[in-house]
Structure 1
């Protein structure tokens, strides 16, 4: 006699039928047809060369062999159900680790944490500052929030949230503000523009989108992080370039002006998760992030 296990589908069909005492109810629970349940039970009976159920009036009853198999199979399925439920509970109760660049974290995520916690109270968010959260060494993260242009890195499932829009921003206290407002975008060619070494293409990209020659621009103080760049702009040290969402609070509060608006780039705000993981909390977080980003 073969010691190989029968198919899991056959055992599931038998277990449901034995537990519910009805082929029809088993079919309904497993979302299959009455005939499919009967065929799976017949597979087991043929392998054992004996019946597992007998007709009993208008219903069915387990045979001695059926009772023996039920006792073994039921325990195994109970353990599977309990283990799966425990895993779901631990996932729901455990922290959700979100990797994010420090500038995005400080300028956009943290100011919205209260709102996020109110809207998604069951999401126990743990923030992990990572300058490149999509790097292979960060695959232990539950998800990563990033500004990135396609193609997306391999090994990650990407949820596109909102297009990136960038534009120049300047403090109302900036010494040359009146001239800039009077002369318009062309006046930026005479400015020593503040920039960040983490994204050197930002100014040239904006210039091309705005009909300004990138070669006509020249640069002043550079900063290693976007967060530092924007703090310098708020302090009135010059004109900076930034994604709209990262300066929306400063613009609304009057700490920064965006006289020339924002241009849409090829980049996207994305929420990425390692492909090998499946977490129902990701969809809720992506939906929330998408709505919050589109408020800008």
Structure 2
């Protein structure tokens, strides 16, 4: 077993932010993915890199030494990308992103892309899933960043970068927090806040239907922050992905998450483009940036029956 750039990036983010939860938010991945990467890295190196406590993650002496080496490796990789590919590229890339991706995944990458690909102008638009699919097929945009688990048009290819698990969101001190995992049947007895943006309600209906149950919906909203506030204030519960989870509402109230026993699909995020599209150098550089961060992607072509 060996480590790769993903292990390094997860380690560095945790070292800089001091908490796995904050590193996961920064990286737009699940906490379990960060925890697993750090454990794998420690196993490869044969040393403990962090002291764990209720206050967070503190670097050990070995961790501090490895952090310096990690910075050197990342810097060399980024320099290599800029000198060998990015600096030579000058052009325009027309792309689009869905609402959730625009708000909770792309911002940190837009900043890094501006530095990695300084001479490529990104013309970015926010679109619904259907509008994004139409724009790709008609050639209005080159590439998209979207919830690949929602793509239905068979003329579009997908490349999933991350899979963000969906968990139950609960207010602090909720009685279900005493359970390590809960069932959809238990959740169905609770008042439920239903998110509707990016077809979240349609996805929810599918896994509820498979269990032949329905949630007790008290509110439908397109605002993730409204869901967060309602849950944190004890008005209901909700099932949403780790990518959009934040532990505090706008009012400063805490909310928690717990795992679900039943089969609830993850929210897949990645790149989408017209099937059989010939990649331009700008598209290739854009895709290479994400591949360098997230490793080998999962490829696919959308099929309507897979919508979940």
Task: Report the TM-score when normalising by structure 2.
Answer: 0.50
Matched, 1:130 2:119: no
What RMSD in Å do the two structures reach over aligned CA positions? 4.0
SS of 1:95's partner is: strand
| Pairwise CA distance, 1:185 | 2.0
Hey, what does 1:218 align to over in structure 2? 216
Cα distance change, pair 266–257 in 1 and its aligned pair in 2 (3 A): closer
Cα distance change, pair 170–272 in 1 and its aligned pair in 2 (3 A): same
What per-residue deviation string (whole Å, max 9, x for no partner) do you get for residues 8-58 of structure 1? xxxxxxxxxxxxxxxxxxxxxxxxxxxxxxxxxxxxxxxxxxxxxxxxxxx
| Pairwise CA distance, 1:135 | 2.7
Structure 1 unaligned runs (5+)?
Answer: 1-88
SS of 1:180's partner is: helix
Hey, what does 1:93 align to over in structure 2? 90
Cα distance change, pair 267–106 in 1 and its aligned pair in 2 (3 A): closer
CA contact (8 A) 1:166 1:241 kept: yes
Hey, what does 1:189 align to over in structure 2? 188
Runs of 4 or more off by more than 6 Å in structure 1?
261-264
| Pairwise CA distance, 1:166 | 1.7
Structure 2 unaligned runs (5+)?
Answer: 1-85, 296-308
Hey, what does 2:147 align to over in structure 1? 147
What per-residue deviation string (whole Å, max 9, x for no partner) do you get for residues 133-178 of structure 1? 5332453112111113387524434323233532222354xxxx43
| Pairwise CA distance, 1:180 | 2.3
Hey, what does 1:106 align to over in structure 2? 103
Hey, what does 1:280 align to over in structure 2? 281
**Greater relative contact order, per chain length (Cα 8 Å cut-off, separation 6+):** 2
Cα distance change, pair 115–233 in 1 and its aligned pair in 2 (3 A): farther
Hey, what does 1:65 align to over in structure 2? none
Aligned residue pair count = 197
Q: 1: distance between equivalents of 2:182 and 2:159?
A: 34
Q: 1: distance between equivalents of 2:135 and 2:187?
A: 40
| Pairwise CA distance, 1:267 | 6.2
Matched, 1:258 2:280: no
Hey, what does 1:166 align to over in structure 2? 166
Larger Rg: 1
Q: 2: distance between equivalents of 1:227 and 1:279?
A: 38
Q: 1: distance between equivalents of 2:145 and 2:235?
A: 29
